């Protein structure tokens, strides 16, 4: 079995694959202050909560990691060796992706962005824009030939909202949810409308500009923790693939396992 780990700035997503089938997936907080053993206990508890048998836990024979928080690698690499007796494959320079990367400095591209692009082209075999709703919201364009052409980065929904709450002392913290109308009658709904519909407009605006610049009509895929909430309010997103990054890690592992 293959264990895939996608480390983001806010959350870390872990998945367990039996060949191409995703058996389990878990989302946990990214905490650089945790020790190797604390993460080891956490992963063990995740296994237990999924009612996995001991033989299934021991069946992991490969691990691949995508990480945009470098200090986390100092925890996860020795964790994999100590608890699984496996040296993990780390997505980065020198790893086969099967995708040409047309970026001024390919080393600057977040590993998760490349992983998403690989998964999108492998699954749909067409040009696409991938919108990943994470700590930052990334927009990446893949050409009809399966080339990573670059993209753009916007502040994520959560950190944008936190900035508003921190700088406007009279505004209350609100739950991130869809209000009934855009013209609201109370402060909580007003904030929710501004965040939800404002961000949906940001997504549509950037996607439309990317389409205009490329003079194409790419397939638009949304992924990330908040994808389902925001995507339903946009006009540009064609499909939601919440496990796109995990699928991409599995695909990249298959390219490199020999």
pLDDT tens for 70-92 read 999 999 999 999 999 999 999 99
Q: What is the pLDDT of residue 88?
A: 96
Cα radius of gyration (the chain): 19
Does the pLDDT of residue 55 top 70, yes or no? no
- CATH class entry, domain 106-248: alpha beta
**Euclidean distance between CA atoms 67 and 111, whole angstroms:** 7
Q: Is it true that 2-90 and 106-248 share their CATH fold?
A: yes
6 is catalytic: no
The mean pLDDT of 18-44, rounded to a whole number, is: 91
Question: From 3.30.420.40, 1.20.120.420, 3.30.70.1290, 3.40.50.300, which CATH number describes the 2-90 domain?
Answer: 3.30.420.40
Does the pLDDT of residue 56 top 80, yes or no? no
Does the pLDDT of residue 57 top 70, yes or no? no
Element (DSSP H or E) covering residue 204: helix 187-214
Average pLDDT score over the chain: 91
- At 23 the three-state DSSP class reads strand
Beta strands in 19-74 (DSSP E): 21-29, 62-67
Compute CA distances 123 → 65, 238, 248, whole Å: 20, 14, 9
Q: What is the pLDDT of residue 94?
A: 86
- At 89 the three-state DSSP class reads strand
Q: What is the pLDDT of residue 46?
A: 86
**Euclidean distance between CA atoms 191 and 29, whole angstroms:** 26
Q: Which residues pair with 27 in a beta bridge?
A: 13
- Taking alpha carbons only, the member of 90, 92, 58 closest to residue 75 is 90
Among candidate residues 6, 25, 33, 112, the one labeled active-site is 112
Beta strands in the chain (DSSP E): 2-7, 11-18, 21-29, 62-67, 89-90, 128-133, 136-142, 148-155, 219-224, 239-240
How do the domains of the chain map onto residue ranges?
A: 2-90, 106-248
Report the alpha-carbon angle 16-22-23, nearest 5: 65
pLDDT per residue as tens digits for the range 176-215 = 878 888 999 998 899 989 999 999 999 999 999 999 999 9
């Amino acid at each position: 079995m293959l264990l895939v780990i996608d480390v983001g700035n806010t959350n870390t997503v872990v998945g367990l694959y039996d060949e191409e089938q995703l058996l389990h997936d878990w989302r946990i907080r990214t905490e650089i202050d945790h020790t190797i053993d604390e993460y080891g206990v956490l992963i063990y508890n995740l296994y237990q909560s999924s009612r996995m048998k001991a033989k299934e836990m021991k069946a992991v024979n490969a691990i691949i990691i995508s990480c945009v928080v470098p200090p986390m690698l100092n925890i996860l690499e020795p964790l994999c060796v100590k608890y699984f007796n496996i040296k993990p494959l780390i997505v980065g320079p020198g790893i086969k992706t099967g995708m040409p990367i047309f970026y001024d400095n390919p080393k600057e591209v977040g590993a998760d962005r490349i992983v998403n692009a690989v998964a999108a082209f492998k699954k749909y075999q067409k040009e696409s824009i991938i919108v990943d709703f994470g700590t930052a919201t990334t927009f990446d364009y893949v050409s009809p030939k399966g080339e990573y052409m670059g993209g753009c980065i916007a502040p994520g929904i959560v950190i944008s909202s936190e900035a508003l709450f921190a700088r406007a002392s009279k505004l209350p913290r609100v739950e991130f949810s869809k209000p009934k109308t855009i013209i609201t009658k109370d402060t909580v709904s007003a904030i929710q409308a501004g965040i939800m519909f404002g961000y949906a407009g940001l997504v549509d605006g950037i996607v439309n500009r990317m389409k205009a610049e490329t003079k194409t009509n790419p397939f638009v895929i949304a992924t990330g923790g908040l994808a389902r909430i925001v995507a339903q309010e946009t006009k540009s997103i064609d499909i939601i693939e919440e496990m796109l990054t995990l699928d991409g890690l599995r695909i990249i592992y298959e390219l490199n396992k020999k």
